[in-house]
Amino acid sequence: MSAILGTGPQHTPIQALRAKKRARNQGGNVLVYAIALAVVALTLGPVLYGVLGGFRTNAQLAQNPAGLPAPWVLDNYLGVLKNPDFWRYAMNSTMIAVTTTLIVVVLGIMAAYPLARYQFRWREPIFMVFVLGLLFPATVAIVPLFILITRDLHMGNTWWGVALPQAAFALPMTVVILRPFLMALPQELEEAAQLDGASRIGFFWRILLPLSGPGMVTVGVLAFVGSWNAYLLPLLLLQGDMRTLPLGVADYSSEHSADTAGVFAFTALAMIPALIFFLAMQKRIVNGLQGAVKG
């Protein structure tokens, strides 16, 4: 009857506002998705182009630079994998990255623990020192570092000579991430452990470390990837057989400048380990950062 009389259901002002809000949110979501897709395309586009370029020949790249492999060629990747220089570079990068990660995680959790759980006079000023360390780029100290490592410590052209400075510059970010994560742990948990006879060190080793796993994984992955991709510091401190993969990519590109497909293959294989490691730990990284934000 209401349809016949032309008096259909009337929307209240609140319902009309809700409808407008839903329409506005849908439009905003479309814009967000479009921006996200554009960022993903700009980020992954060069990576995919390099990976696919390694499956092509130089003639294919010259004839159609934007085309797909036709046919697919494995010779470029097999040539890189058979190159002993590649494995030597990979070994150096792995050892330096693992050493840097271990130093960062161990010293970072030990520094963040008292700054998060202890109450003392200079706690906040000390924490601000780590925060200010985020504003101090490694390039500013590259010349003093070179003199300190090579002349004073005699660690030039060694794994430790690169790992120690990299760990030092990664520690501020590590402490900034771990401190709120550790502060979020309930104080009652520590009090209960003390009532059971556990000391502060015992609480740290037996309870706090296992519960801090997501945060430690987060800072560890960030330190590993940062060390794996480091270029400037290894460039100044490493020579010859001690050079890392990023330096190896630059050397290979210079020596085989005419072999574009081979350079693509070498570059793709150089970035795959860090990419796989990062993707495998992605969920743990998110959980660790969420814990830091909540703290």
DSSP 201-219: HHHIIIIIHHHTHHHHHHH
CA–CA distance, 78 with 54 (Å, rounded to integer): 10
Nearest 10 degrees: Cα torsion 217, 222, 223, 229? 140
What pLDDT is attached to residue 12? 64
List the CATH number of the domain containing 136: 1.10.3720.10
What is the three-state SS of 131-149? Answer: HHHCCCCHHHHHHHHHHHH
The percent of the chain in helix, strand and coil, each rounded to the nearest 5, is: 80, 0, 20
What pLDDT is attached to residue 78? 92
Q: Say yes or no: 90 and 32 in one domain.
A: no
What pLDDT is attached to residue 182? 86
Q: Say yes or no: 165 and 88 in one domain.
A: yes
Question: How do residues 113-139 score in pLDDT, each as one tens digit?
Answer: 889 888 888 889 999 989 888 888 888
Q: Can you give the pTM of this predicted structure?
A: 0.80
What pLDDT is attached to residue 187? 80
Question: How do residues 230-280 score in pLDDT, each as one tens digit?
Answer: 999 999 999 888 999 999 988 888 888 888 888 999 988 988 888 887 777
Tokens of 82: 């058979």
Q: Say yes or no: 194 and 100 in one domain.
A: yes
Total number of domains constituting the chain: 2
Question: How do residues 212-230 score in pLDDT, each as one tens digit?
Answer: 888 888 899 889 989 998 9
What pLDDT is attached to residue 1? 45
The answer to whether residue 27 sits within a structural domain is yes
Does 9 have pLDDT greater than 60? no
Measured over the CA atoms of residue 61, residue 65, residue 70 and residue 76, the dihedral's sign is positive
More confident residue, 181 or 289: 181
Q: Say yes or no: 49 and 89 in one domain.
A: no
Other CB atoms within 10 A of residue 202 CB: 14
Q: Say yes or no: 206 and 149 in one domain.
A: yes
Q: Say yes or no: 46 and 97 in one domain.
A: no
Q: Say yes or no: 10 and 132 in one domain.
A: no
**Domain ranges, residue 6:** 2-53
Q: Say yes or no: 88 and 49 in one domain.
A: no
Task: Calculate the average pLDDT of the chain.
Answer: 83
The answer to whether residue 34 sits within a structural domain is yes
